[in-house]
Structure 1
């Protein structure tokens, strides 16, 4: 991301959600994004994922600028090169676990790589649940299905928006450990928005946003230090 700004509205009602943010995410890194309410976290994530366009500046994915792409091109890029994990799982209740995971492949017309499917489902711990429906799984298991779905296209980047927000602390930490394993063992790149200092401590680094600006980057974060910085920025 290069000098990205994002404005909403115009005139006296204009709101600047992002103010000249520049940041690089290394391949195979796990980065958390934190900041108070209204700091620009969601806008940052949406612009980074090509879900929204910055008013000025550039967003690049693997060296490819997103700004000049048409909407159809952006949709294809998101489908093929970005995986999404949300707090609410967003699984289709009428489909089996297997069909939920492979849905992105059907949408993109990509053939199933059976060896990769087996590795992903084994890695996330749901290889024995493939015939079940989401309603038959715990919250933690559903989130694991969502992670497998995000990985099935071998994306350049996984975007996680409060991925442990609906989970109890123990299950949430299991999911966060899974993210770290995916980064370390598979070279996956993960960008995670969170309000939880414990969740952020699993990342390699934390980006702190305030008033639409990138105000600090913390490497090798610890939960206590992250919480102290968040208190300094005004909490959530």
Structure 2
């Protein structure tokens, strides 16, 4: 296993990945590269394989065949223990449900991945993150005292605290109203533009997808084209043609 920790040259690569659940073929030979400092959105109809692709790319699920690479590391070669360590240190996660621990403060929730890995937070990096996400005045609060948007800001800060090679976001605005969702998307965009963060986001919302540099479409477990820097209308129009694949 190569050295733990983010480097700007790390490549995130999905190669010929398939995923079967019994007789159901969720992914059928998907290839995808995630550039550094890039924001990629994945879209497709229900059952197209979006979440399965994210779970396989993030090491949360193992492909039936094919490879997922993070730098020089083929995730398929890792034991469960090594895979857990990699997820804690080189991969960040943002989910629709936030997944915060109610008994911990904002600061404790943000630094939890480091504490689980037996590491200490870099005070300068922590301060930079909480300032960027707008939480510097709320570090001692518990999640119950925060709005949904603020809780998602905590989740974003938690995803960034380990300086991950890539952040995976699964419907990060799905539980938020339109205005708050836009604030979260602006924050993700700023993380890419300011920190050079690599982000892969699964979404069903054409407006959310339009914040990405690239929108990749899935249909029936296969890649079905992509758009670069599209507007919401272009994304919505492309979605209507996926039945042709």
Identify whether the pair has TM-score above 0.5, normalized to the shorter chain: yes
Query: Post-superposition, which runs of at least 4 consecutive aligned residues in structure 1 deviate over 4 A?
Result: none
Equivalence for 1:202: 211
Ranges in structure 2 where 5+ consecutive residues have no aligned partner: 1-13
Equivalence for 1:5: 18
Q: Which residue among 81, 88, 104 is the counterpart of 1:79?
A: 88
Contact residue 224 and residue 242 of structure 2 kept, 8 A: no
Ranges in structure 1 where 5+ consecutive residues have no aligned partner: none
Equivalence for 1:23: 32
Per-residue deviation at 1:206?
0.5
Is 1:34 matched up with 2:43?
yes
1:19-168 aligned at under 5 Å gives the runs 19-168=28-177
1:97-120 per-residue CA deviation (whole Å, 9 max, x = no partner) reads 111111111100111100000000
What SS class does the counterpart of residue 51 from structure 1 fall into?
coil
The TM-score with structure 1 as length reference comes to 0.96
- The 2-side partners of 1:148 and 1:67 are apart by 28
The TM-score with structure 2 as length reference comes to 0.92
- The 2-side partners of 1:187 and 1:110 are apart by 23
Number of aligned positions between the proteins: 230
Per-residue deviation at 1:187?
0.5
Equivalence for 1:231: 240
Contact residue 17 and residue 64 of structure 2 kept, 8 A: yes
Contact residue 37 and residue 196 of structure 2 kept, 8 A: yes
1:181-224 per-residue CA deviation (whole Å, 9 max, x = no partner) reads 11011000000000000000000000100000011111111100
- The 2-side partners of 1:112 and 1:132 are apart by 18
